[in-house]
Amino acid sequence: MTINWQQEVESRKDDLLNDLIELLKVKSEREDDKITADAPFGPGPRDALLHMLAYGERDGFIVKNVDNYAGHIEYGEGDEILGIFGHMDVVPAGDGWDTDPYVPVIKDNKIYARGSSDDKGPSMAAYYGLKIIKELGLPVSKKIRFVVGSDEESTWKDMDYYFEHEAMPDFGFAPDAEFPIINGEKGNVSIAPYFESTNGGTYELINFKAGLRPNMVPQDAIATIVTPSNEAANALKTAFDAYVKENPISGTADVDAANVNIKLIGKSAHGANPQSGINAATYLAVFLEDFDFAGGAKNFIATASHIHLDVYGEKLGAAHNDEKMGKLTMNAGLFEFIAGEEGAYINFNFRYPQGTDKETMAAAIEQSIGQYVTKLDVQEKHSGPHYVPMEDPLVSTLLAVYEEHTGEKGYEQIIGGGTYGRLLKRGVAFGAMFPGFTDTMHQANEFMSLDDLFRAAVIYADAIYRLAK
Residues in touch with Zn ion (CB under 5 A): 118-119, 176
If DSSP codes are grouped into helix, strand and coil, which group holds residue 298?
A: helix
* Cα(465)–Cα(3) distance, integer angstroms: 10
* Cα(443)–Cα(429) distance, integer angstroms: 21
Q: Tell the smallest beta-carbon distance from residue 235 to Zn ion (Å).
A: 45
From 29, 47, 89, 220, active-site residue: 89
Q: Tell the smallest beta-carbon distance from residue 87 to Zn ion (Å).
A: 6
Among 437, 438, 420, 440, CA closest to 428: 420
**Which of 215/368 has CB closer to Zn ion?**
215
Number of residue whose CB is nearest Zn ion: 119
Residue type, 242: A
**Which of 29/118 has CB closer to Zn ion?**
118
If DSSP codes are grouped into helix, strand and coil, which group holds residue 377?
A: strand
**Which of 306/382 has CB closer to Zn ion?**
382
DSSP state, residue 167? P
Q: Which residues contact 172 (CB under 8 A, 6 or more apart)?
A: 81, 82, 83, 84, 85, 394, 421, 424, 426, 427
* Cα(372)–Cα(309) distance, integer angstroms: 19
Question: Is residue 253 reached through a cis peptide bond, with omega within 30 degrees of 0 on the bond before it?
Answer: no
From 152, 153, 170, 446, active-site residue: 152
Spell 319-330 as b/e; 16+ CB within 10 A means b: bbebeebbbbbb
Residue type, 109: N
* Cα(289)–Cα(279) distance, integer angstroms: 16
Question: Is residue 218 reached through a cis peptide bond, with omega within 30 degrees of 0 on the bond before it?
Answer: no
**Which of 124/284 has CB closer to Zn ion?**
124
Residue type, 160: D
The residues pairing with 220 across neighbouring beta strands, listed in sequence order, are 265
**Which of 119/151 has CB closer to Zn ion?**
119
Asked if 152 is an active-site residue, the reply is: yes
Asked if 462 is an active-site residue, the reply is: no
**Which of 154/347 has CB closer to Zn ion?**
154
Handedness of CA 270, 438, 120, 92 (dihedral sign): positive
Residues assigned a catalytic role: 89, 152
